[in-house]
Amino acid sequence: MRAVERRFRRAKLHYGHGTASARDEAAWLVSHVLRTAPARLASRLTRPVTESQTRKIEALAAERIATRKPLAYLLHEAWFAGLKFHIDERVIVPRSLTGEFIQERFQPWIEVKRVRRILDLCSGSGCMAIACALAFPRARVDAADISNDALAVARRNVEEHGLRKRVRLIRSDLFGALRGKRYDLIVTNPPYVGRAEMKTLPPEYRHEPGLALASGELGLDAITRILAQAPRHLARGGILVAEVGNSAATLQANFPSVPFLWLTTTLGDESVFLMTEEELARHRRAFTTSKSS
C-alpha cells in the first residue's frame, strides 16, 4: 500500500472520485485486490500478499497512472453511504456528500415514518435511490435520469441490492416525465459545473460523461429548473435536498433573498442545501423568472 501511495504521489494524480489522497486511493486499490471492504483493510495490514495479488496491484496502479482514469472505472466499483455499487464510464463516479445525510435519514428535518415516496432526480448509477430505499424501508423510490446508459447501470445496481420491487427507474429530463407525481423527499445531485470550470477540469474528469457535469454558463441551469419545478412535485411538508458543489456560492449570490439551509458535513463542507415545500413555493417566482430556468 505504501509503495502504491508513493507511485501515485510521484505521478501527481488528481483525487476526488471517492478518495481524497494518494494514501486513500492506494488503500482502496489494495483492498479491492484482497477482496475486502476498504473499511476492513486495517485488520489485514500485516498479512502477506501473494505474488499474483502483487502483480494485479502493480498492473492496476500502472493503468491508473497511465490513463488518468478514476480508480472506480478501473475497479468497476464505488462505495457510497457504506454500500458497494457497480460503476463504469456510462455514469459519473458516486461521490455525493448527501450520502452522509441519507445515513442520518435527514434528521431532524423530516419525520421518518411519514416518508413513503422518494425521488432521486439525476440518479446516475442509482446510488442515492438505493441508499434512500435502505434508509427508509417503508418508502418506494423513483430514480429518474435523462440518460438511458445511466439507467442501465442503475438497473444493475438495483437488482444487485435486491430492490427491484421498491426502486423504479424512469427516463426523464428532470421532472419532464413525472407530471402529477408528488414526493415526501426529493434528493438530487444534478450537473452543476459552469462553462469556464469545465475547461479547467483535471484529466480524471474527462473520462466522465459531460452530460452529468456541465450545466450552462454558471453551472446553475439544472438546479434552477429543479427549484422552479419542485413545488409541484413535493407533498405537503416534504423537503428537497440538493448538492451543488463548487456552485454553492454562485447559487446563493444569484438568489440572495432565498433562505437556503446549507447542511454541514462532518468534514465541514457546505455544498448541500435543504428547502421545504413551503419555502420553495414561497420563492418560486424568483426561480421561474431566472434566465437559467
Cα–Cα distance for residue pair 133/135, rounded to 1 Å: 6
pLDDT digits (tens, 9 = 90+) for 153-171: 999 999 999 999 999 999 9
Helix (H) or strand (E) holding 117: strand 117-121
Angle at 230 between CA 154 and CA 273, to 5 degrees: 80
Residue 293 above 70 pLDDT? Answer: no
* Rounded Cα distance, 270 and 263, in Å: 6
Instruction: Look at residue 292 and tell me whether its pLDDT is greater than 80.
Output: no
Mean pLDDT for the chain overall:
95
The answer on pLDDT for 122 being more than 90 is: yes
Q: What is the pLDDT of residue 38?
A: 82
pLDDT of residue 117: 98
What CA–CA distance (Å, rounded) separates 293 from 291?
Answer: 6
Q: Where are the domains of the chain?
A: 2-75, 91-288
pLDDT above 80: residue 92: yes
pTM for this model (two decimals): 0.94
Q: Which CATH architecture describes the domain 2-75?
A: Orthogonal Bundle (1.10)
Q: What's the topology of domain 91-288?
A: Rossmann fold (3.40.50)
**Cα–Cα distances in Å, from 95 out to 196, 257, 271?**
22, 29, 13
Q: Provide the grid cell at 62.
A: 500502472
CA distance 241 to 218: 20
- The 10s digit of each residue's pLDDT in 62-84 is 999 999 999 999 999 999 999 99
Sign of CA dihedral 127, 132, 137, 139: negative
